[in-house]
Amino acid sequence: MNAGFIQTHPKFGRIKENVEDAAKKIRALDADLVVLPELFSTGYQFRSKEEARKLSEGVDGYAAGRLSEAAKEKNIHIVAGFAEKAGKRAYNSSMLIGPRGVIGVYRKAHLFWDEKKIFSRGDTDFKVYKAGGVKVGMMICFDWIFPEVSRTLALQGAQIICQPSNLVLPYCPQAMITRSLENRVFSITANRVGSEERVRGKRLRFIGTSQIVAPDGSVLYRAAGDGVEAAAMEINPEEALNKDITPVNNLFKDRRRDLFVL
């Protein structure tokens, strides 16, 4: 299969423009699975809970609708980060969309910095979904620093971890090599570029460098840090099913859970 990402430069608050731009790029990319950045439809730096609530939408919203159309048209799967409205709350969420519409939603468990003032903490489990015969899991950006997240997804059979991101710290792309290697899974990190300073004195610069990593830790593709781009690589998801390190070492079976502190 071909799996990849779109590295975008969203315009804050302009949902229709951001969604149309992403949908156009999805249509132009030869991929069976495409990952979009965190909050791809709204932009990142909300000034208040009220603003987030106003710009958030449900899985019946504009973003989900237009991406579902693209997924149906191309018979593909899409993972996209969005601001999710749920009653009076807004979550920093990610949705998996297939040819028949939205399959699942993950709400970011580990909120980063000022996100804690804006979004409700995620309350969904780390679930694995079937996407065209392949098991995929979702995590969002800062979740990377908690290795339990990718491990939990891998233990449930995830072959590809999809990570919509708005990275500002420099460490994640290197760390995701380890997350892939220590779980023997593919990972796709879709980041954005550009900067936002909607809160005075708090300029955020997003680092791009979206990437696709193989279960052996090799970086199959890494984007530049400063430009919009889309990329997909041919991968064999079956590689992620083999957890043997040597003939007598198995990544999951050898874990000394009797010695671990959780």
State the residues that interact with ligand ACM by CB under 6 A.
Answer: 38, 112, 141-142, 166-168
Q: How far is CA 34 from the centre of its chain?
A: 10
Shortest Cβ 142–ligand ACM spacing (Å): 3
Shortest Cβ 38–ligand ACM spacing (Å): 6
Shortest Cβ 162–ligand ACM spacing (Å): 15
Q: Pick from 181, 195, 210: which is nearest to 4 by CA?
A: 210
Of the residues 25, 135, 141, 162, which is catalytic? 141
Shortest Cβ 159–ligand ACM spacing (Å): 24
Nearer to ligand ACM by Cβ, of 1 and 105: the residue is 105
Shortest Cβ 91–ligand ACM spacing (Å): 13
Of the residues 108, 162, 172, 196, which is catalytic? 108
The answer to whether residue 141 is catalytic is yes
Q: Report how far residue 122's alpha carbon sits from residue 143's, in angstroms, rounded to the nearest whole number.
A: 11
Question: Which DSSP string corresponds to 30-44?
Answer: --SEEE--TTTTT-S
Nearer to ligand ACM by Cβ, of 151 and 192: the residue is 192
DSSP H or E stretch at residue 131: strand 128-131
Compute CA distances 36 → 18, 79, 97, 243, whole Å.
11, 6, 11, 28
The answer to whether residue 108 is catalytic is yes
The answer to whether residue 88 is catalytic is no
CB 129 within 8 A of CB 115: no
Nearer to ligand ACM by Cβ, of 38 and 196: the residue is 38
Which positions ≥6 away from 256 have C-beta within 8 Å?
Answer: none
Nearer to ligand ACM by Cβ, of 122 and 237: the residue is 122
Shortest Cβ 149–ligand ACM spacing (Å): 12
Q: Report how far residue 212's alpha carbon sits from residue 219's, in angstroms, rounded to the nearest whole number.
A: 6
Nearer to ligand ACM by Cβ, of 95 and 214: the residue is 95
Q: Pick from 141, 195, 208: which is nearest to 11 by CA?
A: 195
Question: Which DSSP string corresponds to 136-197?
Answer: EEE--GGGGG-HHHHHHHHHTT-SEEEEE----SS-HHHHHHHHHHHHT-EEEEE-BEEEE-
* Longest CA span, the chain: 57
CB 212 within 8 A of CB 79: no
Which residues participate in catalysis according to the annotation?
38, 108, 141
